[in-house]
Amino acid sequence: MPIEELVRVGNILPIVRWGEPVMHSPTREVTDFGSSLQTLLADMFATNAAANGAGLAATQVGVDLAVFVFDCDDAQWMRRVGLVCNPTVTFAQRRSRRFIELDEGCLSLPGAFVETMRPDYAICRGQDQYGDDIEIIGTGTLARCLQHETDHVNGLVFADRLPHKARKELHARHERVAHHFPIDWPASPATE
C-alpha cells in the first residue's frame, strides 16, 4: 500500500510500556512484505498519530518485528512521513559529527522527557513497505527519531543511553503524570 493510504486506514492500538519483554529484546527481521505487514503499518501510523508521536516502532505495539513508522519535521521544518523495515543507522564521519542535547521522550513512557545527547544527522537504510531498498537522510527531529526508533528494533529504550541520574529523573517525571495515561492509551485518550 502507498504511504498515503497507510496513514488513512489503520486502527489505533494500545502502546506497550517499558518493562514489557518485547521492549527490551532485539526484533525479528521483516521478510514477509504482504498484507499482514501492511495492516500492521497502517495501525502503527494510526497509533502514532493518536499519540501525537514523532515515530513508533512495532515493539511499541507488542510486535517483535524490525520496523518503524515516522511523522516528524527535519531541520528545515519539512514534514517527513515514512517507514523503515530492517533499519540500520549510520552517522557523519567523526570529524564532522555534531551532537545536540534536546528533550527526548518515548510513547512507551508517556508524558516524560529529559535532555538527551544525539548526533544531529543520521542516515537510515532498510526497506520500504514493498521490500525495496531505501535510504533516508535525517536532520533535526527526523535524525533523532531515526536513531530512537532504530534503537527500539534493537531492544533499547533511550533511557539505556542516559547516565543514572538522568534515568532516575526521567522515571520520576513519568511517575508524576502516569495516572493521566490509561493502560490502553492512546486507544483510550489521556485524561487531563
Which residues have a catalytic role annotated?
149
Number of H helices, E strands in the chain: 4, 7
Half-sphere exposure of 165 (CA within 13 A, CB side): 1
β-pairing, 79-90 with 121-127? antiparallel
Residue 144 amino acid letter: R
Question: How many C-beta neighbours within 10 Å does residue 189 have?
Answer: 13
